[in-house]
Structure 1
Amino acid sequence: MKKNVLIIGAGGVAQVVAHKCAQNNDRLGDLHIASRTKAKCDAIIQSVTDKGAMKVAGSFTAHSIDAMDTAAVAALIRDTGAQIVINVGSAFVNMYVLEACIQTGAAYLDTAIHEDPAKICEIPPWYGNYEWKRRADCAAAGVTAILGVGFDPGVVNAYARLAADDYLDTIYSIDIVDINAGSHGRWFSTNFDPEINFREFTGTVYSWQNGAWQTNKMFEVGKEWDMPVVGTQKAYLTGHDEVHSLSARYPDADVRFWMGFGDHYINVFTVLNNLGLLSERPVKTAEGLEVVPLKVVKAVLPDPSSLAPDYTGKTCIGDFVRGTKDGAPAEVFIYNIADHEEAYAETGAQGISYTAGVPPVAAALLVADGTWDVKTMANVEELDPKPFLNLLNQMGLPNRIKDAKGDRALSF
């Protein structure tokens, strides 16, 4: 059954979501996109038109919305007849959009955990601070809410579930490794919203090890990983969304997230942080102006969406899952390789946005056809991963697996 879709947000990820919804609008319904700045939505729709992305004739309409105004979001859902809301706006708006979906009965999809602008790196599990508190409300309203259905979190959660279901009898550890081996040609930039990016790295690094939450400082623990295509890469233990839900499902396994950083990024980050320029707390200038240092840094850095035309290279993101099979030690690596230039040619966005934007559209298709329309709140690892991963294979994010049998395409 076709279902109308409302996209919240107008950044690089939203651009990919828009293109992928258009490419699959024969299985979806009318498409809508809304952001505080309607001109950004208009530009995304124009890019969809320019690339001829609409698979069949249909409508794609832009709207202006303050996504932190629940009443306005609910009214827009009703006005558009949206039955699926794909929230790829700022992580600050999640709970407002989720509430609007609960009120209207629309399915809710997001790609990252909710954040309070005034708080950095809250106590774990992070989902327990916000989203999971509304699980019973979703169930009572019969609302499907699929949390963190980007790539990481999202696809990597499905990889972990698949490894546990099909490849290992017991799991000792899940190590999620995210490597961007691409180059954007700028002196310094972040690959997505600088404010959200830096907030991830200025707080405590939480990992789940030995059956308890462990803490480290950012860049304290590094390790080299031998990755397909991109080669040996240094990555650092980092706090991340998926650790907080996967540890709840697999409490006997160590669950860690590792992200690749070059020395230049680390040096710039360290200077900014030591100077207090990554603080979320307001300060007053000598002229009496109140500013938030982190927002100033965001304002002077390149818009991540502007990186796309010049981006080259590839990403490699996947799960190293270790445990036992038939009584012997075993390991699988389930992963994806994405290409920045290919992503730009197809959608006008760079590879980081592409890997984050394709999965929620695959999830929307599974909600529309009933496969994932579970009428309650769920993290990705709670759902059958195979239909999801099969769709990704068809939609531009092919999955691969490397184990004792070799390195090969993963399909079902």
Structure 2
Amino acid sequence: MKRNVLIVGAGGVGHVVAHKCAQNNDVLGDIHIASRTRAKAEAIVDSVHAKGSLKTGGRLLAHGLDALDVERTAALIRETKSAIVINVGSAFLNMSVLSACLATGAAYIDTAIHEDPLKICETPPWYGNYEWKRQAECASAGVTAILGAGFDPGVVNAYARLAQDDYFDRIDSIDIVDINAGDHGRYFATNFDPEINFREFTGQVWSWQKGRWTSNKMFEVGKEWDLPVVGKRTAYLTGHDEIHSLSKNLDVPDVRFWMGFGERYITVFNVLKNLGLLSEQPVRTAEGQEVIPLKVVKAVLPDPSSLAPGYVGKTCIGDVVKGVKDGKAREVFIYNVADHAEAFAEVGSQAISYTAGVPAVAAALLVANGAWDVRKMVNVEELAPKPFLALLDRMGLPTRIKDAEGDRRLRFAEPARETAQADPVPAA
């Protein structure tokens, strides 16, 4: 059994991960939070104590860390005897943190695909550009690396696998729909790191249609979806991580991702883009200062973690799956609804961070008890979905299904909880 967790990143998602690890520290053991800005990690530690989130007595410590420094990250893993690393820092850090896990034998979990800061919207499949090139390394070292274990990617991958296992003989299409019907009261803000958020939408929109990669422009293809709780909402075809693994691992001819945007977001985004303010290329001001426009925009926007107080409304995220079962056409919608105010009451975050952070901790619990400790690199859809969804049900993200039989909650048997001590991570 693996114990002791190092959380890399102290943003909104890191905040949720820390609280949820604390709520399960009888299984996960010591919890360490590392950030380039140590004060941010210390603030999360204070928040966990203020909420009384620790289930049992144990270590909860903050550390300063530049996670691009592989040797220092590996040293911290060894110093803290962490057997599991949950990487919820910037997507630019993934390969460095993975390298540190390979050097120490610690299991690796992330919530988003790796990105090169100098490249935007690379050639698909995106996982093939970085992560999958290191599959042999992970297998040789016997290191478990679970990619994209947030909500989307992550839970939606598990939903797709559940659909394949239990509801279809043949799947023809998977449409992942992500609607945030919440209101944070600000004129304009992004729900997670603005730099990463905008990068998703400034390049081509890649989707998997008719068994091949198809390119569109952002906001070129929109569709109205009528969903539970949030009602009718327009969402736009958008490029996203999970398309790049589901298209390979589930052999489905059509895999698309749809994200909801309000008119204000679209207007502001287009103005910023057309003015060149989303550029990552440096420019020189009249005063002779060199600045990067995107980083200036990021600096003036609200910190995503500051949006939680007063955020109201709900999110609805899930998979619309179409195909054939027992010779008949079938359609199901497997989904979750999360509430911003409820997330804030529990852990002091908004629902976007909550839905991204809770699944990463569920994955850590499954690695800890051995169910997902596969000692190789995998995407979530390659793992058994029901133990994962069972944990999410207990941890605040219940799964529902809507089909010809109605709309109902799905329940799964939760894997046995263990609290036994285990050997520390090996020092390579």
What TM-score, normalized by structure 1, do the two folds share? 0.99
Q: Distance in 1 between matches of 2:2 and 2:393?
A: 22
Amino acid at match of 1:250: L
Query: Structure 1 stretches (4+) deviating beyond 4 angstroms?
Result: none
Are 1:400 and 2:400 counterparts?
yes
Gaps in structure 2 of 5+ consecutive residues: 413-428
On the 8 A contact 2:33/2:62 being kept in 1, the answer is yes
Which amino acid is the alignment partner of residue 391 of structure 2? L
Q: Deviations over 1:53-86 (max 9, x none)?
A: 0000111010000011111100000110000000
1:194 matched to which residue of 2?
194
Kept in 1, the 8 Å contact 2:218–2:238? The answer is yes
The within-5 A match list for 1:38-187 is 38-187=38-187
The Cα shift of 1:405 comes to: 1.0
Is the 8 Å Cα contact of residues 230 and 315 (structure 2) preserved in structure 1?
yes
Offset from partner CA, 1:242-275 (integer Å, 9 cap, x none): 0000000133420000000000100000000000
Distance 2:333 2:211 in 1: 23
Residues of 1 paired with 2:411 and 2:349: CA distance?
26
For residues 210-289 of structure 1, the aligned pairs below 5 Å read 210-289=210-289
- Looking at structure 2, the residues matched to 128 and 287 of structure 1 have their Cα atoms a distance apart, in angstroms, of 43
CA distance in 2: counterparts of 1:201 and 1:254, whole angstroms: 21
Moved more, 210-219 or 284-293: 284-293
Question: In 1, are the aligned partners of 2:2 and 2:367 still within 8 Å (CA)?
Answer: no
Task: Tell me the residue number matched to 1:355.
Answer: 355
Match of 1:390 in 2: 390
Distance 1:136 1:255 in 2: 27
SS at match of 1:108: strand
Shift, 1:226, TM fit? 0.8
Aligned amino acid, residue 294 of structure 1: L
Q: How far 1:163 moved relative to its partner?
A: 0.2
CA distance in 2: counterparts of 1:399 and 1:91, whole angstroms? 27
Structure 2 contact 135–376 (Cα < 8 Å) conserved: yes
The amino acid that maps onto 1:18 is: A
Q: State the partner residue of 2:379.
A: 379
Aligned to 1:202, the other structure's residue is in SS state: coil
Give the corresponding residue for 1:291.
291
The one-letter code of the counterpart of 2:308 is A
CA distance in 2, matches of 1:150, 1:237: 20
Amino acid at match of 1:230: V
Measure, in 1, the Cα distance between the counterparts of 2:131 and 2:201: 21
Alpha-carbon separation, structure 2, partners of 1:247 and 1:301? 35
Helix, strand or coil at the partner of 1:309: coil
SS in 1 for 2:201: helix
Question: 3-state DSSP class of the match of 1:3?
Answer: coil
**Per-residue deviation, 1:2:** 5.2
Identity %: 75
Structure 1 range deviating more: 103-112 or 401-410: 401-410
- Cα distance between partner residues in 1 of 2:143 and 2:106: 7
Residue 75 of structure 1 aligns to a residue whose secondary structure is helix
Q: Secondary structure at the match of 2:220?
A: coil
Aligned residues: 412
Could you say which residue in structure 1 is the equivalent of 2:209? Answer: 209
Structure 2: how far apart are the matches of 1:134 and 1:157? Answer: 21
CA contact (8 A) 2:204 2:216 kept: yes
SS in 2 for 1:10: coil
Give the distance between the partners of 2:4 and 2:17, measured in 1 at CA.
Answer: 14
- Residues 235 and 259, structure 2, Cα contact 8 Å, conserved in 1: yes
For structure 1, the 5+ residue unaligned runs are none
SS in 2 for 1:175: strand
Instruction: Read off the aligned partner of 1:105 and give its amino acid letter.
Output: G
8 Å Cα contact 2:2-2:84 kept in structure 1: no
Aligned partner of 2:16 in structure 1 is: 16
Matched AA of 1:141: A
Q: Find the residue that maps to 2:7 and give its secondary structure.
A: strand
Aligned partner of residue 61 in structure 1, secondary structure: strand
Q: Cα offset for 1:88?
A: 0.2
